[in-house]
């Protein structure tokens, strides 16, 4: 008797089509921790280049600071220009996607989230920045991870 294989399809909300249910092929992330010896209006602490035709789904993020006056971070998406052969899946314009902010010393933990309810869905080049970084002994940090799913 012939073997029957059952493939389960799920709706990918980003791609707006059915794809075969599968585990992610890439788990990606980064961590940064540091203090500053000079002042910056913004300082990029982590960057990730999302592969063409893929979307980064952020499932976990922790930001923290020792600074009693708090800290502001930003998540910035820069889409490739139309002249490049780097087509995007969605149509979200370039720009700031979020401003995670701590009003005082401490930490904020978001996630972990399930694959179908990510914190953010990003494309192109993604930069995680700290804003208004001032020279001080206070330490700051960010940890994030997510998946880039292989959609068939």
Residue 29 pLDDT > 90, yes or no? yes
Per the domain annotation, does 17 fall within a domain? no
In a domain, 97, yes or no: yes
Q: Report pLDDT digits (tens) over 78-129.
A: 876 544 445 555 666 788 888 999 999 999 999 999 988 999 988 888 999 9
Domain span at residue 105 reads: 24-148
Total domains present in the chain: 1
Angle at 127 between CA 72 and CA 68, to 5 degrees: 20
Query: 81, 90, 31, 95: which is closest to 56 by C-alpha?
Result: 90
Assigned domain for 15 exists: no
Is residue 3 assigned to a domain? Answer: no
Q: Which residues pair with 63 in a beta bridge?
A: 108, 142
CATH code at 41? 2.60.120
Pairwise CA distance, residues 125 & 148, whole Å: 13
Average pLDDT value for residue range 9-36: 81
**Residue 37 belongs to a domain:** yes
| CA pair distance 14, 18, nearest whole angstrom | 10
């Amino acid at each position: 008797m012939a073997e029957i294989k059952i493939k389960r399809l799920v709706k990918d909300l980003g791609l707006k089509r059915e794809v075969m249910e599968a585990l992610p092929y890439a788990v990606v992330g980064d961590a940064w921790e540091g203090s500053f010896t000079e002042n910056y209006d913004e300082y990029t602490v982590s960057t990730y280049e999302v592969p063409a035709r893929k979307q980064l789904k952020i499932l976990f993020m922790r930001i923290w600071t020792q600074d009693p006056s708090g800290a502001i971070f930003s998540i910035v998406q820069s889409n490739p220009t139309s002249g490049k052969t780097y087509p995007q899946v969605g149509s979200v314009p370039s720009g700031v996607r979020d401003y995670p902010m701590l009003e005082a010393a401490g930490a904020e933990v978001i996630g972990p989230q399930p694959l179908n309810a990510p914190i953010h869905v990003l494309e192109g080049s993604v930069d995680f920045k700290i804003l208004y970084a001032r020279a001080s002994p206070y330490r700051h940090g960010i940890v994030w991870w997510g998946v880039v799913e292989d959609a068939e």
